[in-house]
Structure 1
Amino acid sequence: MSKERVIFCDFDGTITVNDNIVAIMKHFNPTGWEAIVQRIVDKTISIRQGVGEMFSLLPTSRKDEIIEYAIGNAVIRDGFKEFVDYCKEHGIKLLITSGGIDFFIYPLLKPFPIPTEHIYCNASTFEGSVIEILWPNRCDEHCATDCGMCKTSIIRSYDSERYERIIIGDSITDFEGAKLVDTIFARSHLIEMCEQLKYPYHPFDNFFDIMKQLEAEPVT
């Protein structure tokens, strides 16, 4: 019996051309954000802690300005619309699994027919004096990396005996998930990590590349 295909697709730097969190920080440039990024890269703090600390540097008085910039600056990668249609046509479950934030992810995905329950990301509140990030998709008992938005927990919820699990991503936040799946589509930093550990992967520049490869490989 063939397996059902389920795709776990990153958002920042994957669906969008650039990383939206980094773009927001560079544009508004709050004091101290670059040092936080370096601590994340050095793994002296977790992704969850780092993202939370970065957004706490931004005052909620600039809410409208921040949201407008985040949405207006983002560029959707070529072929994504066609890719969403392709998944629907072929009965492939497409899940958006992102360490990004709801206030820009939901508006940017609104033009595409993706059910809200298939979008996993971090949440936010603007009720205090600074932006607070909320974490509705924390790590399960099998993950101790304090991801914030735990992609591996979501992947594990889809039985490998029933599903052919596919990940599409570009960065460190996708790497742990890449260890669990059947097929990896990678670009940027994820390629470097796959090559270091000799994980097989398919490189991509756009979503047309991914569709072409999916067509070439029948469901297992």
Structure 2
Amino acid sequence: MSGWNILCDFDGTISVEDVIDSLLDRFGRPGWEALESDWRAGRIGSRECMTGQVALLDMDRQALDHHLDGMWIDHAFPDFVSRARDLHVPVRVVSDGLDYAIHRILGRYGLDDLPLAANHLAPGTPPQRWQLSSPFQAEGCRSGTCKCACVEQARASGATRTLLIGDGASDFCAADRVDFVFAKHRLIEHCRHAGIPYVPITGFEDALELLPALLDGSLLAGTAPQLATLAGA
């Protein structure tokens, strides 16, 4: 065993675009934008925001599945998972998104067996309505999925070090608690300003190249030659 485990965000990290945003743009009834504004202003947490937004979706299961079947993931993610498994590094998807959507999208790539922590999407009444629950929430956390709790679960399971791969605000808190971060987009600035050990990546091609250096310790020591060539470095 490597002693490492990997927690990986889904929306905007594994997936090319944010699933809930795309669903709201296409199927959202009026009112979801106001919830989004309240969340961005910090007046509500992501769990409250998404619970309200999911309740405003107007689509049946067939329309949902058709939409999800047109969504894509980073082309190098399957190879990254395969390489991590070869190196005996567990990968868990930790997302403040929708479990049904993640399973369906990853299923097209044969990856729906990856362990997952995410919000639960269930049909409501009538059939074109939907409801959200958050089985991975934690007391005092306003997110639907508490990624900090996922970090603690990884440690409790015997992992000595945790790598977080993410891109945005839902990853900020967990980034403070892990041993290293592969960061995209807004998470790069957060790690830089907070002094969190990280490397910027543009996608899983970078992550695949960097994984061996993480495991042999050269990445943590700042000696990996790839650091000089990555975007944003």
Q: TM-score, normalised by structure 2?
A: 0.84
Structure 2 residue 131 is the aligned partner of structure 1 residue 135: no
Equivalent residues of 2:2, 2:215 under 8 A apart: no
1:154 to 150, 155, 158: 150
Equivalent residues of 2:16, 2:74 under 8 A apart: yes
Q: Which amino acid aligns with 2:96?
A: G
1:77 paired residue number: 74
- Which structure ranks higher in relative contact order (CA pairs < 8 Å, sequence separation ≥ 6)? 1
Q: Distance in 2 between matches of 1:162 and 1:58?
A: 39
Q: Over aligned residues, Cα RMSD in angstroms?
A: 1.9
Q: CA deviation at 1:172?
A: 0.6
Unmatched tracts of structure 2, length 5 or more: 218-233
State the identity as a percent. 27
Q: Distance in 1 between matches of 2:63 and 2:130?
A: 13
Unmatched tracts of structure 1, length 5 or more: none
Q: Distance in 2 between matches of 1:207 and 1:112?
A: 17
Equivalent residues of 1:185, 1:201 under 8 A apart: yes
Over 3 Å counting, the alpha-carbon distance change for 1:217 and 1:125 in structure 2 is closer
**How many pairs are equivalent?**
213
2:169 to 150, 154, 172: 172
Q: Which amino acid aligns with 1:100?
A: G
2:186 paired residue number: 189
Over 3 Å counting, the alpha-carbon distance change for 1:158 and 1:103 in structure 2 is closer
Q: Distance in 2 between matches of 1:5 and 1:96?
A: 15
Which structure 1 residue ranges, 4+ long, deviate > 4 Å from structure 2? none
Q: CA deviation at 1:128?
A: 1.7
2:206 to 189, 193, 209: 209
Q: Distance in 2 between matches of 1:38 and 1:192?
A: 22
Q: Which amino acid aligns with 2:151?
A: I
Q: TM-score, normalised by structure 1?
A: 0.89
1:56-85 CA deviation, whole Å, 9 max, x = no partner?
1123x533213321331x121121110010
